[in-house]
Structure 1
Amino acid sequence: MKYSLITSFLLGGFAIAITKQPVSSNSQHILVHSTDSHSIPDLEHVIDVSPLLSYHRNIVQIESTTKNEAEVGDFIIQFLQARGFHVEKQIVLTSEAERKGQNNPEYKERFNVYAYPASSRLPRILLTSHIDTVPPFIPYSLNAHVSSQPSFDRDNILISGRGSVDAKACVATQTFAVLEYLQTHPNAPLGLLFVVGEERGGDGMKWFSNSTLNTSPPTFHTVIFGEPTDLALVSGHKGLLAFKITSRGLAAHSGYPWLGRSAKFGKTTLNIGHIEGGVAFNVVPAVAYAEVAVRLAAGTVEEAKEIIRNGVRDATGGNENVTVEFVGDGNGYPPQDLDTDVEGFNITAANYGTDVPNLHIYPDADGNTHGKVKRYLYGPGSIFVAHGDHEGLRLWQLEEAVKGYKKLINAAMERNKVTNYA
């Protein structure tokens, strides 16, 4: 969920802010010799010979915009089952229409993917990201700068396509970090959770959070969330409160505006008809609305709601035809503090939203919550390109992210020993 701070009654586009501090790859740059000027066969070969890169390619090639995640989910399930994971397919039914529509031929199944080794159905360390993307679908592609010499830098191959960054890069690298860790620590209590719907309200994570898989008290002591962070650990991100302002008037022909009342400006001789609302350019709108998202840097959601209500009341003179509705579940969430106590990472803060607040952490027997459960946010790629037409990242970032996730797993495993979770 990446919203912008909207300070007017216009519904704006998405925008974020994050300190870009990429972690440099320690691996040596490898020059790949090209057999032709375009080098596409050579680029494909680089991907083909790497299990990580080919898996990333496979899931990016599957279109999975929000509410259309089933195909990529099934592919991930088959991939994990083939590698010895037990996989639970958690059906997500978040609306009455979805619950009623299961027998409809046009119904599209939606589900979270919850996977773990046979030894740990209730893992102590959970890695999670999302499999849905924003529209539109953009095909997978590879590009490399080829100089006059017949070679290119393998590490700097640009891998592009919708979801190549947000967040299938996290899905792929979390998966391979766990696979590689289990090769040397076969009894490590690790789990993977890949959810639907993060880009539109977080319904997949909320469904998991309210299910029996999210135990009270929690069985996990560490949750590693995957989002594009330029390979930095995120110390926290802003909260969110979304609301809709609706202004109701009386429709009329634009040639006789005195017969109506503009939803935006009341009675007027001008037809200012469409902010969000109106039916035609020549009709004074009966209703108009603006949807607003506020990024909360401090304070509580209730404090923010009170400021918004008072602001609208003062601006309209208490006009009863102008109303405020807090959308979604109406609750929003406050700023989120995250853990950054693992050495070897750059630290940054984020303005975008994530599934972090959608996973409820139940208190333990002593009444502790976030102090007991560590929450990390980390991943490859830049959020600045995540929803754009040129979404993509460099090959080295994927391979470096596997190392980063394994470093976080290592730290969690050390904590596993000293907190009597083993």
Structure 2
Amino acid sequence: MKLLSSILSTVVLAPVARSLPEDAFPQQPLSEQTTGLANTISSQRDLEKVIDASPLLSFHRDIVQIESISGNEAAVGDYIVQFLQERRFAVTKQFLPREADKGSDDAVTAENGPQRFNIYAYPSWISEPKILLTSHVDTVPPFLPYSLSLPDDANGNSSSSSTWRERIRIAGRGTVDAKASVAAQVFAVLEHLEVDPMAPLGLLFVVGEEVSGEGMRWFADSDLNPTPPRLHTVIFGEPTEHALVAGHKGSLSLTVRARGKAAHSGYPWLGKSAVSAILPALARLDRLGDIPVDDGGLPGSKKLGKSTVNIGRMEGGVAGNVVPVSASAKLIVRLAHPDVELARQRIEEAVRETTGGDPDVEVEWNLYGNAPIEFDADVPGFNVTTVNYATDAFYLRFPTGNVKRYLYGPGSIFVAHGADEAITVGDLERAVEGYRRLIEAADRHA
């Protein structure tokens, strides 16, 4: 990669560069060769030197080290804003109202804590972006600290330091989902601006994706997303193992609640167990995606496979010797079929049939639901896949205009949300090149 100063001083770009602020690109070189390492990297300090030597890797480290569990994104947002402003980006902090935190007990925002915000940014010397790269800055709990390690087979091997450099393992919450995408998108934009300073690129980093997508919903309904759209391409960042995603499943979010009557556990017939009332419904819902459609199961599709149900959280009762007066369970359905209303009907029918129509067991829909989404996958050189997870791309819809939408990113979804969430140096650096190829394709076909 070339130094920014040398690129901007070339004769070819001189006519364009003269219209830019002289300090438009004050950052360090986007990549450096790591020097001074032995043929094998043998200490923690050697690993840290690799991170320190790379603006990309050090930016990724810094944002991962800032805890940003959904609802608590203000601190990492401030850091990203400052980073972009130092590079002469026009930055809008789009604050979400406090009400957006309510109604979800998965968010952690304190009532008097910092107000969280989306980040909308583009180079200050262009009029408006037409190609938008977007991802989210929130993570799932719990916070896992940033750490570095070598691959298991590194010790005693005589391979070159550059080989080990690429295989250095970066672990911690958000290293993959989705701060890897955030970092790679930022540096892909910066690198592309070296070559084409007037490229109409923008960045959007939202909050709350892991809970209910409230950040993207707030942006989509705001003046920053006008109709007809000014954008012609949106590139969403999530872990896809560097493949282009041709489609992902839809999503339904619901809570099943049961009411009972408290009594002493020695005389359970004097009360009504809310737990006993809810269990038959949960047992049926848990396997609803495996039940044939003709028998009341959830529909699937050839492209996305089966619809699946996850009972993610259960609560009920107050003590082992008390008949429980209440019980509830939170469920997420990954919907492979576009008929959202049919899926809702099947869920309500399953609860009604398994409980004998008990009026004390109810389904509460947290959101109406979203059908599966198809993405563009027409850029050569990428593997193409589908994924079972959902994203907040549901909410960034364009009722008019022809807007292409891509889903791409580094890292594996199989480690996201887990205790072993991690990515390699090589994987993260490769993503910068992947995003650049998507940017270049979007620029060519604008």
Instruction: Specify the TM-score bucket, using the shorter chain as the normaliser.
Output: 0.7 to 0.9
Q: Note the C-alpha offset of 1:106.
A: 2.8
Conserved in 1, the CA contact under 8 Å of 2:34 and 2:50?
no
1:293 to 329, 332, 353: 332
From the superposition, tell whether residues 115 and 37 of structure 1 become closer, same or farther in structure 2 (CA, over 3 Å). Answer: closer
Partner of 1:118: 124
Conserved in 2, the CA contact under 8 Å of 1:67 and 1:108?
no
Q: Note the C-alpha offset of 1:96.
A: 7.0
Partner of 1:346: 383
The amino acid that maps onto 2:315 is E
Partner of 2:106: none
**CA-to-partner distance for each residue in 1:393-414, whole Å, 9 max, x for gaps?**
1111111100000000011001
**CA-to-partner distance for each residue in 1:23-81, whole Å, 9 max, x for gaps?**
xxxxxx99984499842121111111111111111111111111111111111111101
Q: Secondary structure at the match of 2:329?
A: strand
1:156 to 167, 174, 196: 167
2:353 to 314, 317, 324: 314
2:257 to 239, 242, 246: 246
From the superposition, tell whether residues 96 and 387 of structure 1 become closer, same or farther in structure 2 (CA, over 3 Å). Answer: closer
1:55 corresponds to 2:59: yes
Distance (Å, rounded) in 1 between the aligned partners of 2:137 and 2:217: 15
Distance (Å, rounded) in 1 between the aligned partners of 2:140 and 2:127: 31
Q: Note the C-alpha offset of 1:290.
A: 2.0
Distance (Å, rounded) in 2 between the aligned partners of 1:346 and 1:170: 18
Partner of 1:107: 113
From the superposition, tell whether residues 94 and 408 of structure 1 become closer, same or farther in structure 2 (CA, over 3 Å). Answer: farther
1:147 to 155, 162, 174: 155
Conserved in 1, the CA contact under 8 Å of 2:34 and 2:53?
no
- Percent identity over the alignment? 55
**CA-to-partner distance for each residue in 1:151-204, whole Å, 9 max, x for gaps?**
641111111111111111000000000001011111111100001111111111
Q: Secondary structure at the match of 1:86?
A: strand
Q: Note the C-alpha offset of 1:362.
A: 3.0
Q: Secondary structure at the match of 1:200?
A: coil
Distance (Å, rounded) in 2 between the aligned partners of 1:137 and 1:108: 18
Q: Secondary structure at the match of 2:274?
A: coil
The amino acid that maps onto 1:123 is P
Distance (Å, rounded) in 2 between the aligned partners of 1:199 and 1:96: 14
The amino acid that maps onto 1:397 is D
Partner of 1:67: 71
Conserved in 1, the CA contact under 8 Å of 2:132 and 2:235?
yes
1:305 to 344, 359, 376: 344
Greater RCO, CA 8 A, separation 6+? 1
Q: Secondary structure at the match of 1:311?
A: helix
Q: Secondary structure at the match of 2:225?
A: coil
Cα RMSD between the aligned structures? 2.2
Distance (Å, rounded) in 1 between the aligned partners of 2:73 and 2:276: 43
Partner of 2:139: 133
Partner of 2:320: 281
Q: Note the C-alpha offset of 1:276.
A: 2.2
Conserved in 2, the CA contact under 8 Å of 1:30 and 1:155?
no
> What pairs up with 1:359-370 in 2 under 5 angstroms?
359-364=396-401
Conserved in 2, the CA contact under 8 Å of 1:31 and 1:154?
no
> What pairs up with 1:27-46 in 2 under 5 angstroms?
33-34=37-38, 38-46=42-50
1:200 corresponds to 2:211: yes
Partner of 2:428: 398
Distance (Å, rounded) in 1 between the aligned partners of 2:41 and 2:178: 32
Q: Secondary structure at the match of 2:350?
A: helix
Partner of 2:294: none
**CA-to-partner distance for each residue in 1:354-378, whole Å, 9 max, x for gaps?**
11102132313xxxxxxx1111110
**CA-to-partner distance for each residue in 1:277-308, whole Å, 9 max, x for gaps?**
11111111112122222111013211111111
Conserved in 2, the CA contact under 8 Å of 1:226 and 1:378?
yes
From the superposition, tell whether residues 379 and 317 of structure 1 become closer, same or farther in structure 2 (CA, over 3 Å). Answer: same
Conserved in 2, the CA contact under 8 Å of 1:241 and 1:296?
yes
1:77 corresponds to 2:88: no
Partner of 1:227: 238
1:95 corresponds to 2:64: no
The amino acid that maps onto 1:148 is G
1:165 corresponds to 2:176: yes
Distance (Å, rounded) in 1 between the aligned partners of 2:198 and 2:73: 31
Distance (Å, rounded) in 2 between the aligned partners of 1:30 and 1:414: 34
Partner of 1:323: 362
TM-score when normalising by structure 2: 0.78
Conserved in 1, the CA contact under 8 Å of 2:315 and 2:327?
yes
From the superposition, tell whether residues 275 and 155 of structure 1 become closer, same or farther in structure 2 (CA, over 3 Å). Answer: closer
Q: Which moved more, 1:246-255 or 1:144-153?
A: 144-153
Conserved in 2, the CA contact under 8 Å of 1:66 and 1:199?
yes
The amino acid that maps onto 1:324 is V
Q: Secondary structure at the match of 1:281?
A: coil
Give aligned pairs, total. Answer: 367
Q: Secondary structure at the match of 1:253?
A: coil
Conserved in 2, the CA contact under 8 Å of 1:119 and 1:189?
no
